[in-house]
Amino acid sequence: MTERATKSVRPPKSGPAKSDPVKPDNGGDQALGISEGYGVFLEANGQNLDAFVKSSEALGNGLAALGEEFVAFSNARMRTQFENSETLMSCHDFEDVFALQCDYLNKAAEQYAQETGKVMGLMTQMTRDCMAPFEQRAKAALHQLNQD
């Protein structure tokens, strides 16, 4: 180290080091209060963590149900499209093709509208299921606050 660098180093301030524990001046009662408060803190956070885990589980179940619904709908739509293609090959004129395509389009629009309703219902239920643990936890916490 150079001489200039050593001159810029300041001597330590007097008093306890930052890592020294602070001693309570009331005979240890303060430490007892802190440990009780810490226990309450841990208990509350354990309950909060439990609500989070339950909510996450509900989210996973809801997403799985959505995935299953998407796969089932996609399979049904593909099956309908293949059937429509086979039926198109049996058409004898353009009027039959046009009528078949119009019928196909109307049925597809109806199926997509129904599927949208199903998906919205699944998402609504998933949201309710995800929020329920937090709602229960908040009610319990508010009840506890009213008791104190």
On whether residue 8 sits in a domain, the answer given is no
On whether residue 26 sits in a domain, the answer given is no
On whether residue 18 sits in a domain, the answer given is no
Burial (0-12, 13-18, 19+ Cβ within 10 Å), 125: middle
The phi and psi torsions of 53 (rounded to 5 degrees) equal -65, -45
pLDDT tens for residues 43-80? 778 888 999 999 999 999 999 999 999 999 999 999 99
- The pTM (predicted TM-score) of the whole model is 0.64
On whether residue 100 sits in a domain, the answer given is yes
pLDDT tens for residues 95-133? 999 999 999 999 999 999 999 999 999 999 999 999 999
On whether residue 62 sits in a domain, the answer given is yes
Q: How many domains does the chain have?
A: 1
Enclosing domain of residue 50: 36-147
On whether residue 104 sits in a domain, the answer given is yes
On whether residue 91 sits in a domain, the answer given is yes
